[in-house]
Amino acid sequence: MLTGKQKRYLRGLGHGLKPVVMVGKGEVSGPLLEETAEALKSHELIKVKILESCLADRHEVAAILADRCGAEVAQVLGRMVLLYRKGEEPKIELPN
């Protein structure tokens, strides 16, 4: 579970990131989960864009992605979701 301080730090790091994963009308499917997990494995912190064609609630999509990929939701802002999962060899050092 991320603390408020850690979420603020991750939001600062994620500000300049471009979305790596897009959730469209197919919503949360197997291939999308695999793509998200792979992106988290290589980047630790990723931005996910929820397109207009996605009919599911953005908070629900964020929760499902985080739960199924073993990640934490650092932020949901508009149609963007910031996900974090600590890597095997962590690149991001979180504050305490």
Please report whether residue 65 resides in a domain.
yes
Residue 27: pLDDT band with limits 50, 70, 90: confident
What pLDDT is recorded for position 7? 95
Task: List the structure tokens of 94.
Answer: 């979180």
The CATH number of the domain where 37 resides is what? 3.30.110.60
Q: Which residues pair with 72 in a beta bridge?
A: 84
Q: What is the pLDDT of residues 37-76, one digit of tens each?
A: 999 999 999 999 999 999 999 999 999 999 999 999 999 9
Q: What is the mean pLDDT of residues 74-80?
A: 96
Answer whether residue 92 is part of any domain.
no
Query: Does residue 90 belong to any structural domain of this protein?
Result: no
- DSSP strands (E only) in 12-59: 19-23, 45-50
Predicted confidence band of residue 15 (pLDDT cuts 50, 70, 90): very high
SS3 41: helix
Range of the domain at 23: 4-84
In the chain, how many domains are there? Answer: 1
Question: Nearest-CA neighbor of 73 among 55, 93, 47?
Answer: 47
91 within a domain of the structure (yes/no): no
pLDDT at position 83: 97
Instruction: Tell me the pLDDT tens digit for each residue of 83-96.
Output: 999 998 889 999 98
- 74 lies in a domain? yes
45 touches 75 (CB < 8 A): no
Residue 96 located in a structural domain: no
**Residues 9-35: what's their mean pLDDT?**
93
